[in-house]
Every structure is written in structure tokens, then in C-alpha cells.
Structure 1
């Protein structure tokens, strides 16, 4: 093979690689950097996550999913929250505890003894919406459904699946 043909092959390989990387990043997976402490203790400031962008085109959001969503109050921001209620659920916050359909949910992802503050106490989740909370339940630590209301599913950009940085906490976000 001549040097010219070899150079063409290299250029073709590089262009194909760039196109594949663009398709993967745009349509399948993305990387997200955590800013703030609204998902503490699960996520910390500057954690980096892989986000699955296609999962909700294939299925519905589920309770417990950690999602990246377009902020309903600022289209230039994204929020990271946990889905607590899905279509048809009745979410209630009473005496600092969270109930879904009348049953207290086990929240082993919050700090021990965490108290969930709320002015409003009950939400019924309609089709096409979810109820989200940050894992950090300290007063004012998370801007979530308690302040923003129910979140339209079409604002969800993807499901956070794995933490890849820092290396010492690498792994799945789900137990």
C-alpha cells in the first residue's frame, strides 16, 4: 500500500470514529458533572456520571431512578434528582417522612435521620409527570418537586447510571 493510500485509510478511520463518537454522545450516552449538594450523600460536588439518554425512549421512568432533567425554572440549567413518584402515585410528606400510595418509603440513600421538609404535603402524579426529590433533605438544600411542582417527563434528559470519577467511588449508582 502506498503512503497516499495509507493516509486516506487513516483519515477515513478518524472521520468514522468522530462520527460514531458524536452519535453515541448525542443520542445514547452523555457525561454529567455534579454541581452542588442536592443529591448528597449519594452524589458529591464534582462527581462525574455516565448518563443513559435512550433509556426512556424504550421504557418509562421508575421510582428510584436518578435522572438528569432540564430545569423547569431555568432552561439553561440541568438538575439531578431522584424519582419518588410516577404516574398514578400519590406522594405525601408528613412528619418529615415520605409516603407513596400511603406507604412510607425506605430511603436508605438519605442521611440517617434525615427530615424531609415541605410546605405542601400531598401531590397526585398525573400521566406524563414525575415527582422528584434531591437526596439531601436539609432545609433549602434541593430545588425539587416540593418547590417546582410535578416535573413533565419530557424534561428528563436521561438516567444517571454510573459514577466514573472519582475513581475511588467508581461504579453503579444503584445497589
Structure 2
């Protein structure tokens, strides 16, 4: 009987530890749709790390502002108090050009396919939202597949409140052939 109670206690402790990790440290996420291609593909699963601050270019799962029953996965572009603009396929943060190295291959492929339009259409934060800068405790996010992504450029999504951010996608875990750190 002692062994039985020890086993039950061990399984209960394991369940408790795993539950705490799931709630406070890491969570599985599933990518749905093509908005983060080629960084993340439709159907892939990843682990989101919940600890630490959100930084520019982090890939984040978030509760959708336009439909709280959905989660989106996007890339953080604008942090609180940032001014964000795009001109001639170049990102500008606070008036300074900023490289998006994760888009280099996509831009080359886009041009090779014969597209004459930029991968990311020109915009300023003021034109899109009426704000000069990203409001406090809010974030401006874009999908890597700029032509199909429903992201902060659209009024129904808009700025993402900090509390809607689930974590930071860190590692692709499914399918096993794609195991890798999220770039």
C-alpha cells in the first residue's frame, strides 16, 4: 500500500510541475495559415517561451484582437513609443532604416517571380492608425508573408495589447523533420 501512495504522490507531483511549466514558462502553439511563411509553415507546432520581455523582431503567438477565440502568430515590429513606416520595401523605426534580414530570401524570390510591387506596401503609422507612435503597452506586428498577412496594418487587428501576447516562439517541434529554433 505504501508503494501505491508513493506512486500516486509521484504522479501528482509530476502533473503539478508540468501544469506550472505550461501556465508560467512555456506553451505549445500551432501555426494556422500562411502569414508567417517561410519562417513558420501552416500546420507546424512550436514552443512559446513565456518569460522575459518582448523585443523587436520576436515571433509571438497572440490572442487575436479581432476574434479572441483565435490565436495569431506574428513578428513584433514596433515597440511602445516607436514610430513605424515602410517606404520602398524598407522598414523605418523612429525615422531610421532598419534591416529585416529574415526577409532577404523572400524579397529575392518575390523579384525573381516578376513582381513589380514591393513585398511590403508603403505606409506610415499615422496613415494606418492615426497615431504618430505605438501607444504604451501596445505592439505593432506584421506577418513575414506580407502579401497575405492579417496584421497590425489592418484596422480590425490594430495594435496588440501586451496582455494579448502569449509568449515568444522559440522552437519548432512538429513535424520532426523541421525541428529548429525560430529565426
TM normalised by structure 2 equals 0.83
Tell me which of 107, 113, 120 is aligned to 1:112. 107
Shift of 1:66: 0.6
Extract unaligned runs of 5+ from structure 2. 111-118, 127-132
Shift of 1:76: 0.2
Which residue of structure 1 lines up, in the alignment, with residue 152 of structure 2?
145
In the TM superposition, structure 1's runs of 4+ consecutive aligned residues that sit over 6 Å from their partners are: none
Tell me which of 7, 27, 30 is aligned to 1:33. 30
Number of positions where the alignment pairs a residue of Structure 1 with one of Structure 2: 164
1:1-175, aligned counterparts within 5 Å?
A: 4-55=1-52, 59=53, 61-110=54-103, 111-113=106-108, 115-117=119-121, 120-123=123-126, 124-138=133-147, 141-147=148-154, 148-174=157-183
TM normalised by structure 1 equals 0.86
Extract unaligned runs of 5+ from structure 1. none
Deviation track 1:119-156 (CA, whole Å, cap 9, x = no partner) reads: x5235112211110000012xx1111100222211211
Partners in 1 of 2:153 and 2:175 — Cα distance? 30
